[in-house]
Amino acid sequence: MKRLIDSDFLVGLFRDADAHHEETLSLLENETDKESDLYVVNLVLFETATVLAHRVNMDAVRLFYDKLPKLNLKIISFDEKLESMSWEMFLKQTKKGCSFVDCANMAVLRRYRLDGILSFDKFYPDKIRSIP
């Protein structure tokens, strides 16, 4: 399986007080056992670092940065094509509070034909969200 990882999943991994902390640890172990290929968009890494800085502290950001290579994630760079696809999707949204990064993740899922996303965010349709 090829799965994309969202920032809420990464925050759950690195923030002990997160409501999903234990679940993310277990899910990551499960995906590793299944030898899934895990992907992340560089925008999600930036967003995760920012959330950790706001909700925890900069030490948590440094820990995230130091441990990131050990997760063996395939990092997808946000290029012009993904930006165009993301803007197109973002501008079609009608609900208040929509996230551009969520739309970027959807563009990545489509462009790279990934099987799903590890996210707790209900923005993503159930059929692609790998977390019930």
Domain of residue 92, CATH code? 3.40.50.1010
Please give the order of strands across the beta sheet that includes 2-5. Answer: 74-76, 37-41, 2-5, 116-118
Q: For 72-87, what is the mean pLDDT? A: 98
Task: Quote the DSSP letter at residue 63.
Answer: H
Mean pLDDT, rounded, of the chain:
95
What per-residue confidence (pLDDT) applies to 59? 97
Is residue 28 a part of any domain in this protein? yes
Is residue 112 a part of any domain in this protein? yes
Residues 41 and 99: their CA atoms lie apart, in Å, by 14
Is residue 88 a part of any domain in this protein? yes
Asked if residue 19 has pLDDT above 70, the reply is yes
Of 2, 1, 4, 33, residue with least CA distance to 108: 4
Asked if residue 17 has pLDDT above 80, the reply is yes
What per-residue confidence (pLDDT) applies to 125? 87
- Are the beta carbons of 104 and 118 closer than 8 angstroms? no
Is residue 125 a part of any domain in this protein? no
Q: For 93-118, what is the mean pLDDT? A: 96
What per-residue confidence (pLDDT) applies to 132? 63
Q: How confident is the model at residue 131 (pLDDT cuts 50, 70, 90)?
A: confident
Is residue 128 a part of any domain in this protein? no
Asked if residue 104 has pLDDT above 70, the reply is yes
Core vs surface per residue 91-111: b (16+ CB within 10 A) or e: eeeeeeeeebbbbbbbbbbee
What per-residue confidence (pLDDT) applies to 126? 87
What per-residue confidence (pLDDT) applies to 14? 96
Asked if residue 33 has pLDDT above 80, the reply is yes
- Are the beta carbons of 120 and 20 closer than 8 angstroms? yes
Q: Which domain holds residue 10?
A: 2-118
For the chain, what is the domain count? 1
What per-residue confidence (pLDDT) applies to 130? 79
Is residue 66 a part of any domain in this protein? yes
Is residue 12 a part of any domain in this protein? yes
- Are the beta carbons of 37 and 70 closer than 8 angstroms? no
Give the whole-number percent of the chain exceeding pLDDT 90: 89
